[in-house]
């Protein structure tokens, strides 16, 4: 619930102080009305909330529905104001010239600034955000299986009240502040959240106090007409996280580390980490890195001394992610014992998930890797941990955005894979066939590749090739991770997870081959 002292008058004053209020219509007799929240989806509006009228396809009927559900006022821009006043005459209207910024400031106030009552831990970077978020959650939960720490990110959202598979990495401001309020009201001490470049660029997290902000890495991604116009815009958007953080945690091993460190000086304190050893000069660093079956181990060093750590998932690059989580925990004063136990049991849905089969030579790895930087790290580690096996890489590219992936991913995967299978991956408003054809055209000459648009059929083909490989094979099921929906057109269509499809197709293949093999009488 919003603060007991939040009223329509206090919201008007907040927007006025920020220079965001053009006028308040029909508000004179409602200034003392209590406000308990804000929403931008008419289906979740509750009594006492302010409704935000946003979106290119917004219809006055949405506002009518919100008012019927108990909305006490609405926020809109000048262009929509006349139509909305006609649809809901007499309803208080706050009219702004900057809807996105006004929505952020109004939402934090309407929900009672819950960030002031909990620890907000923000993570940004091109690669690894969700892994670090789950590592942190596993550590802070202390074995309570996801019940003690809130999380908002690209995989799941949990706030003590709501729990669901995420649609956006960082939600719109009214939803973000609702989740923070639920976290506070549920008595959860922390919210771990991935902070996307889009959220930073488009003011979704304005007014949010971040206790610890971690910057993992930066690579070229999300460059498109509907995302970031160029790398500079993408990088600058991510750097904005330090404009509202108390403590910065920075990876010294990334490209552009000096620029990130310089921006981090805006925080009260900066803590650095590195997997490159003592010579890096980092506050938290690692050596003795080694791969173990199904996991990795290393020695962590900091002002607390040296201690052995193990991460219960493969991928040598996960040392970086573990160090990020460890450094953030040191800022929070979390004990080494909790860190060690959390890392040893961590599971990230759809991240470096190893699926073994009845044939020890054949396995699959399910991972969300979806851009050039993540491919570099994924395949480099894979080549060491599964040396000698054939590599089958199955992936696609999303529709409507991140067009650079359609040439970068075939080029990068071709450095490592014996066979590439292009398939469906959230095509949105484009044809899967067109996306796959573009990727096939960008495949280096001589690289074995196939196009199988139906993702389950593509995974079945990968299974068949893997079991025919004399040297054994590792099937890399990339980008979709643990997701159960495909973005097709304007809809999110239910689908099986890659892991479930792989296991089913392995069972089918082995069953067929067993049936085709005649019994041999002794």
Mean pLDDT by 10 residues, the chain (522 residues): 76 97 97 97 95 94 97 97 97 97 98 97 94 95 73 94 90 96 96 95 96 94 73 94 98 96 98 96 96 89 96 90 98 96 91 92 94 91 91 97 93 98 97 98 98 98 98 97 93 95 98 82 46
pLDDT value of position 143: 58
User: Is there a contact between 320 and 280 (Cβ–Cβ < 8 Å)?
Assistant: no
DSSP state of 223: B
The residue ranges of DSSP E strands in 83-235, in sequence order, are: 93-96, 119-124, 150-152, 156-158, 163-165, 190-194, 210-215
Query: Which CATH number is 8-110 given?
Result: 3.40.1390.10
pLDDT value of position 522: 42
Pick the CATH number of 114-345 from 3.20.10.10, 3.40.50.10090, 1.10.10.10, 3.40.1190.10: 3.40.1190.10
Assign domain 353-513 to its CATH superfamily: Mur ligase, C-terminal domain (3.90.190.20)
pLDDT in tens, 51-103: 999 988 899 999 999 999 999 999 999 999 999 999 999 999 999 999 999 99
Please state the pTM of the whole predicted model: 0.83
DSSP state of 34: B
pLDDT in tens, 161-173: 999 988 888 999 9
Q: Provide φ and ψ at 26, rounded to 5°.
A: 55, 30
Element (H, E) at 506: helix 498-516
pLDDT in tens, 209-233: 999 999 999 987 666 776 777 889 9
Domains in the chain: boundaries: 8-110, 114-345, 353-513
What is the percent of the chain with per-residue pLDDT over 70, rounded to a whole number? 97
């Amino acid at each position: 619930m919003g603060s007991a002292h939040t009223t329509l008058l206090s919201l008007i004053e907040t927007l006025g102080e920020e220079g965001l209020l053009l006028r308040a219509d029909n508000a004179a007799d409602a200034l003392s009305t209590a406000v308990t929240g804000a929403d931008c989806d008419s289906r979740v509006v509750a009594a006492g909330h302010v409704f935000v009228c946003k979106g290119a396809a917004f219809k006055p009927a949405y506002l009518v529905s919100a008012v019927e559900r108990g909305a006490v006022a609405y926020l809109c821009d000048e262009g929509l104001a006349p139509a909305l006043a006609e649809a809901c005459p007499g309803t208080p209207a706050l009219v702004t010239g900057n809807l996105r910024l006004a929505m952020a400031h109004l939402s934090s106030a309407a929900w009672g600034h819950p960030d002031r009552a909990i620890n907000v831990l923000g993570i940004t970077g091109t690669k690894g955000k969700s892994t670090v978020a789950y590592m942190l959650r596993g550590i802070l939960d202390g074995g309570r299986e996801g019940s003690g720490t809130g999380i908002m990110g690209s995989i799941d959202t949990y706030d003590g009240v709501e729990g669901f598979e995420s649609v956006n990495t960082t939600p719109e401001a009214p939803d973000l502040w609702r989740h923070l309020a639920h976290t506070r009201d549920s008595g959860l001490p922390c919210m771990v959240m991935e902070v996307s470049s889009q959220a930073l660029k488009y003011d979704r997290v304005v007014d949010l106090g971040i206790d610890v902000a971690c910057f993992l890495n930066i690579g070229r991604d999300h460059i498109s007409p509907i995302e970031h116009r160029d790398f500079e815009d993408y990088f600058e958007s991510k750097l904005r996280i330090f404009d509202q953080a108390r403590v910065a945690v920075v990876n010294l091993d990334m490209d552009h580390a000096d620029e990130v460190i310089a921006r981090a000086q805006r925080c009260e304190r900066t803590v650095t980490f590195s997997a490159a050893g003592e010579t890096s000069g980092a506050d938290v660093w690692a050596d003795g890195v080694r791969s173990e079956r199904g996991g990795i181990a290393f020695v962590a060093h900091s002002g607390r001394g040296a201690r052995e750590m193990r991460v219960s998932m493969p991928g040598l690059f996960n040392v970086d992610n573990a160090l990020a989580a460890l450094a953030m925990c040191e800022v929070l004063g979390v004990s080494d014992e909790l860190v060690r136990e959390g890392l040893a049991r961590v599971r990230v849905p759809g991240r470096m998930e190893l699926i073994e089969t009845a044939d020890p030579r054949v396995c699959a790895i399910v991972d969300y890797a979806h851009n050039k930087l993540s491919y570099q790290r994924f395949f480099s580690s894979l080549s060491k941990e599964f040396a000698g096996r054939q590599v089958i890489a199955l992936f696609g590219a999303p529709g409507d955005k991140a067009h650079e992936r359609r040439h970068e991913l075939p080029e990068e995967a071709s450095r490592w894979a014996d066979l590439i299978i292009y398939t469906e991956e959230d095509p949105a408003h484009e044809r899967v066939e067109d996306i796959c054809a573009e990727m096939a055209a960008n495949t280096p000459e001589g690289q074995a590749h196939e196009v199988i648009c139906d993702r389950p059929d593509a995974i079945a083909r990968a299974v068949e090739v893997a079991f025919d490989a004399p040297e054994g094979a590792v099937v890399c099921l990339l980008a979709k991770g643990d997701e159960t929906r495909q973005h097709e057109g304007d809809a999110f269509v239910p689908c099986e997870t890659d892991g479930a499809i792989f296991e089913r197709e392995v069972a089918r293949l082995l069953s067929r081959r067993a049936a085709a093999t005649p019994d041999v009488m002794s």
